[in-house]
Chain A
Amino acid sequence: MSVESLFPRLEPLLPKVQKPIQYVGGELNSTIKDWDEATVRWALMYPDAYEVGLPNQGVQILYEILNELPETLAERTYAVWPDLEALMRSEGVPQFTVDGHRPVRAFDILGVSFATELGYTNLLTALDLAGIPLEAADRTDEDPIVLAGGHAAFNPEPIADFLDAAVLGDGEQIAIAISEVLREWKAEGSPGGRDELLLRLASTGGVYVPKFYDVEYHQDGRIMRVVPNRDGVPTRVFKHTVMDLDEWPYPKKPLVPLAETVHERFSVEIFRGCTRGCRFCQAGMITRPVRERSITTIGDMVEAGIRESGFSEVGLLSLSSADHSEIADVTRGLADRYEGSQVGLSLPSTRVDAFNIDLANELSRNGRRSGLTFAPEGGSERMRKVINKMVTEEDLIRTVTTAYSNGWRQVKLYFMCGLPTEEDVDVLGIADLAKKVIKAGREATGSRDIRCTVSIGGFVPKPHTPFQWAAQCDHETVDRRLRALRDALRSDKEYGRAIGYRYHDGKPSIVEGLLSRGDRRVGRVIRAVWEDGGRFDGWSEHFSFERWMAAAERAFADEPVDVDWYTTRERDEHEVLPWDHLDAGLDREWLWQDWQDALNTVEVEDCRWTPCYDCGVCPTMGTEIQIGPTGRKLLPLTVI
């Protein structure tokens, strides 16, 4: 059965909405495959506005890989803004893909990539607009399999009722494997309907199907256990890890949109994973081990990406880019290759290290030295030991002074507020640090034309980290400390005007905390918020704390739990956590020990340069650290 384009019905609505181009598709390097020639059809969604979702690497990679498969097609869909949503409802136009403008409900799989929990309400909008029942239990064989991925999928429990399945970790290989299972099942005549398909996926051990697990609770609200309710369903579901990134050099053909997006550049992931061991960092914990892309593959990808896209900016992405074993050769080689051209290179790395300045200098040979960013994260030495961010005040001052001396005039410093064990003095320490930075910078440069911006946000404890047991700081305390810091910075006559201050208030962090460490009962809150009009919760102009709290009150009325129970309550060692049956490879006992070490301000070194500290990932997942040096260099490009 062929599926017609919805575009003729969408088109008359477009002159009435903001930025209509975002719904039109037709990006350079986008693909529309023949519907009838494919047997496996994916709709890939990034549950935020197009301008945020389009540049997402995960979606672009999967889109390209899936479209390269025979018999498989993938199209993209994004959250529509409320103005178009209203028109689509009144005109009966369902959620569509931007490639073929096909109805999302006609696809076999709706794969949704959650980088953050704040996209959950947008998932519900998309499902509802698509005509797909919100609850998985109400879906029929006519509905797609709704599958979640991305970092937030490491605890999909709050949206478990809305999902048919979730996958943890790197998507490249599992997306192909899922396509194969689906293709075979269809070839056999779709025996047993969607239930059989889900069972086949679950039995691979790499796909989590929430409905095949029952959650039992204690009287006091804690989880007693999570157990499979079917034969052939594994007790634990493991994450996926792509080894040898050189074999997966995607995106090869980056999507180039007509509409303006948040990242107007071509990005190359230079490695995955991070073992620095920052205890607040979920990304660093769930993406282990470190797997580098080789210098030559990076060079090839940058060259092809620029040629295919016409972008003039290239970003070298990773969780800590300066840690690539051959980063100096990478930056020098690329700077040589593109010297004199209009190609700009950036290294969004945030390590506080003078070495970083050398790299940044290399990448800015053409003379643009506007701003550098560093993330000490904690305002006091003690705080930085708690979070295992091993930066001394001396390091920081020296690094920043070097930056100013090298002609960088603006330095941005990232911090978090509300970290475990934090006291007022730890946050106020940020003001002292910033003043010392400016003082040292003025002395080093002899100029007053230098600036420093302090950027600070609320900390949210995340699953699969040593802080998964921690009490989240209440928003009143966070806000009080943030105001005190602002006053301390502003009141300073000598340095105050050279220091900028950006902060986010603490309330959204509480909602993020509820969604991050929530269990299946939180799904009712999400649904209630959505029914009350909640959309685009990552956008301050759409987010309503009051709406979330009111919805939580209603949803938890008959439960022994509330928002505080999920957020500001510290968990003990043996409490069953909602995500304990989902395995990122991290050893639970190691995580607990690391949490105790945090409380005792004991630091842990990076396992790339010191012996293994037994986090458990490599033995559990059968993986190993993959780092250089390869000893290879980037040769000059031959101009034809």
Chain B
Amino acid sequence: MQRLRVRYAKRGRLRFTSHRDISRAVERAVRRAGIPVAYSAGFSPHPKISYAGAAPTGVASEAEYLEIGVNRPCDPRRVRDDLDASLPPGLDVLDVVEARDGNLADRLEGSMWELRLPGADPGEAERAVKEFLSADLVEVERLTKKGMRRFDARQAVRSLAVVGEPGITAGQETVQPCVILRMVVRHETPAVRPDDVLMGLRLVAGFAPPSPAAVTRLAQGPLDATGEPADPFAFDRAGGDR
């Protein structure tokens, strides 16, 4: 069975899709596109599509990943075009490679996030970031399925900065003056999410933006020496014949 690895984006208003919404949309798009997806055996067969580390509902992303098992060999470029055409605009296929060995999810060690904070004060943001980074431990709380949980939001943060230039404007459609934060966060359990870091900024420095953050995941992958997520497909591509 050939396995195809897909990088896709979740943009604009489609950032409000949940993980379940996306998996339904992908299954239907795969059928419409005529991609020969493999099915599991058994009483109720399921298409062999697996998802790695989906971004939360409401968060946009330029770097989501999934893997499709197919019955007969497919040209990744053609799958990229067909699947992209079948998915609704806003769920956009960016890259497809044929999988070599290894587990894709294991390669997704960390994410780079961008947070746009409309109406926030840049000076306050700078101060809060400095405070946060100088702390060893920033304990935050989040309501999980198992109730309120306390955990450290500091150690997972590889880098955090107020950036002058907006990144890819995949989030909110409304344009207004805003502070832009960029951070690289290591994937851990419990997962530290961008809003946990925001809460940390409030706890350490009282930084409270007036409206909700528009969050976009910019990249996901192995964390290399530079501290930035590298391309998780590099290994697959290196072994490929194209």
Which residues of A come within 8 Å of B, CB atoms?
Answer: 7-8, 11-12, 14-16, 19-21, 24-28, 256, 258-260, 264, 306-312, 342, 367-368
Contacts and interface: CB of A to CB of B under 8 A. Distances in A.
16 contacts: A12-B212, A20-B16, A20-B57, A21-B16, A21-B57, A24-B13, A26-B14, A26-B88, A258-B17, A258-B24, A260-B20, A311-B28, A312-B31, A342-B39, A368-B43, A368-B44
Contact of B88 (A8, A14, A258, A259): A258
Contact of B58 (A20, A258, A311): A20
A21 B56 CA distance: 13
A8 B174 contact: yes
Interface string B1-37: 0000000000001101110110011011111100000
A8 B21 contact: no
A301 B185 CA distance: 50
A28 B88 contact: yes
Given A20-B16, A258-B88, 8 more contacts: A7-B173, A8-B173, A8-B174, A14-B58, A21-B17, A26-B13, A27-B88, A258-B21
B32 A310 contact: yes
Nearest to B87: A28
A21 B18 contact: yes
Contacts of B32: 307-310
Interface string B166-208: 0000001110000000000000000000000000000000000
B53 interface: no
Nearest to B20: A260
B134 interface: no
Nearest to B26: A310
Given A20-B57, A24-B14, A310 B31 contact: yes
A25 B88 CA distance: 11
Given A20-B16, A28-B88, A11 B28 contact: no
Contact of A258 (B25, B44, B45, B212): B25
B28 A310 contact: yes
B45 A342 contact: yes
B90 interface: yes
Contact of A260 (B24, B29, B47, B86): B24
A24 B16 contact: yes
Nearest to A311: B28
B154 to A, nearest CB: 25
Nearest to B47: A342
A14 B88 CA distance: 20
A26 B90 contact: yes
B20 A14 contact: no
A19 B57 CA distance: 9
A7 B12 CA distance: 11
Nearest to A366: B45
Contact of A264 (B24, B29, B43, B173): B24
A398 to B, nearest CB: 28
A310 B88 contact: no
Nearest to A26: B88
A7 B57 CA distance: 18
